[in-house]
Amino acid sequence: MTPVHFSFSAAFILGLMGLAFHRTHLLSALLCLEGMMLSLFIALALWTLQFESTSFSTAPMLLLAFSACEASTGLALLVATARTHGNDRLQNLNLLQC
């Protein structure tokens, strides 16, 4: 494994571990998701540059578009949660209550 592949794999794993273990605030969960998507985007972009094929060149842009949609949805949920509950702590959210 090259150092470049190791760094992107480590960035993705660190984002995944942050998402799994540090779930106190919704904002920290969203930041971990964005870090994971950024590492996936850079790895996919470098992979398409390595193969030098035009058929794979749209994949990083498609991933970036889905990442932007995910970020905007997450921020909208964060604002809605902060308005209704007063904070963004995940322990206060209960999916069984209306």
Q: Is 59 a domain residue?
A: yes
Q: Is 97 a domain residue?
A: no
Q: Residue 69: its pLDDT value, please?
A: 94
Q: Is 25 helix (H, G, I), strand (E, B) or coil?
A: strand
Q: What is the DSSP letter of 89?
A: B
Q: Is 98 a domain residue?
A: no
Q: Is the pLDDT of residue 19 over 80?
A: yes
Per the structure, the count of domains in the chain is 1
What whole-number distance in Å separates Cα of residue 71 and Cα of residue 6? 26
**What would the pLDDT profile of 64-98 be if each residue is shown by its tens digit?**
999 999 999 999 988 988 888 888 887 777 665 65
Report, as an integer, the average pLDDT of 43-57. Answer: 84
C-beta separation of 45 from 60 below 8 A:
yes
Tell me the residue range of the domain where 35 lies: 3-92
Domain CATH number, residue 15: 1.10.287.3510
Q: Is 33 a domain residue?
A: yes
**What would the pLDDT profile of 31-46 be if each residue is shown by its tens digit?**
999 999 999 999 988 8
Rg (CA), the chain: 17
